[in-house]
Structure 1
Amino acid sequence: MNARSWKVLIVGSVLLNVFLLGGIAGGAWRWFAARDALQARTQQQAQTQPAQRAALRFATDNLSPERQQQFVDALKAARREGRDDARAGRDDRRRVLDLLAAPQLDRAALDAALAHTREADIALRAKVESGVADYAATLTPEERVKFVEGLERSGQWRLPPQQRKAASQANTTQ
């Protein structure tokens, strides 16, 4: 190789390296810009919309910490009591899926498995609802009103936002 070939090769290598470094720098700039924009959007949404606390345990947020702990303990006890029903419901749901996946659909067996699943779910729900009712019986009338407001926001009795707004307006006009 002569001197001219080496010069062309070096110039080509330098140009290729500059091109690659420019691409890497441009990609990094785009990545950081997109990440910052996503974080800003997420923060803005977090500021405009309060966090949805839909689980039943959050129904006592407006009550004292002692009352909140009593409710959590009551829910734990009800769920512990309904553990066998929950397990039976899970097993029955697996049985339903197995029956649905079978080459031949056995409608009678499927209906029976669905009925068992429904019964287990109803038994578990009844235990949880009974625990909620037992807890509510220990509250003062003022605490019960706050508890009902919490139930309208959280848990299986929660109302859609439009109905919640209408209910709060109806309560203020009475």
Structure 2
Amino acid sequence: MTPPAKRLKTFLALSLLLNIFLVGGLGGGLYQWFARHPATAVGPQHGMRVAMTELPQTKRHQLRQLLRLTRVDNQPLIAQGREARVDVAKQLQAPTLDRPALDAAMAKARDADVSLRARVDATLADFAGTLSPDERIKWAVAMQRHPAAKAPPTGSAAVVGDE
């Protein structure tokens, strides 16, 4: 074997070993990352999302589609609420607090949120009308078993900074 060919083979062998080492390190790092950060990083599931699991697959799909359509149809209302919350943040960051403007922005955000919630509730009521009595019972039991996120406790202990 000639010296340049031997050097080339040595270089290729070292390159292959280095690449195997790097791929192994990357694979091990990814494994460790996903072991510590599972795919359910959304947080604890509760309320409607868990209650939906009690429905048959076709009904779950139908409900998701209806909720998606409701979201698409109400984009202007969602945007109004978002803009109002941005306005609230701007009012709070202002050097001087303009209380009437802050109250108006908060009322606008609240009105948008309440209107959107009413439309989502109407969609859920319409969907419930398509379920059989047995499916409605299962869905209701699941919603009772997995209620929406609980509100913080009331009282002086719940107020931040009162300690």
TM-score of Structure 1 vs Structure 2, range by shorter chain:
0.5 to 0.7
Alpha-carbon separation, structure 1, partners of 2:96 and 2:113 = 27
**C-alpha spacing 1:150/1:84, structure 2 compared with 1 (3 Å):** farther
Instruction: Give the number of the structure whose residues are more often helix, by fraction.
Output: 1
Name the structure 1 match of 2:124: 132
- Measured against aligned partners, the alpha-carbon deviations of 1:96-126 in whole angstroms (never above 9, x if no partner) come to 1101111111100110000000000001111
Q: Which residue of 1 aligns with 2:142?
A: 150
Identity %: 35
Relative to 1, partners in 2 of residues 1:101 and 1:159: Cα closer, same or farther, differing over 3 Å?
Answer: closer
1:101 aligns with 2:93: yes
In structure 1, distance between residues paired with 2:106 and 2:37? 42
Q: Given the alignment of the two structures, is residue 112 of structure 1 paired with residue 98 of structure 2, yes or no? A: no
What is the TM-score of this pair, normalised by structure 2? Answer: 0.61
AA of the residue aligned to 2:80: A
* CA distance 1:159–1:61, shift in 2 (3 Å): same
The root-mean-square deviation of aligned C-alpha atoms, in Å, is 2.7
2:83 aligns with 91
The runs of 5 or more residues in structure 2 that have no matched partner are: 1-31, 151-163
Q: Which amino acid aligns with 1:67?
A: K
The 5-angstrom pairing of residues 26-105 of structure 1 reads 52-54=44-46, 56-105=48-97
TM-score (norm: length of structure 1): 0.58
Please tell me whether Structure 1 or Structure 2 has the larger radius of gyration of its CA atoms: 1
8 A Cα contact 2:47 2:148, kept in partner: no
1:155-170 alignment, distance < 5 Å: 157-158=147-148
- Greater shift, 124-133 or 144-153, is seen at 144-153
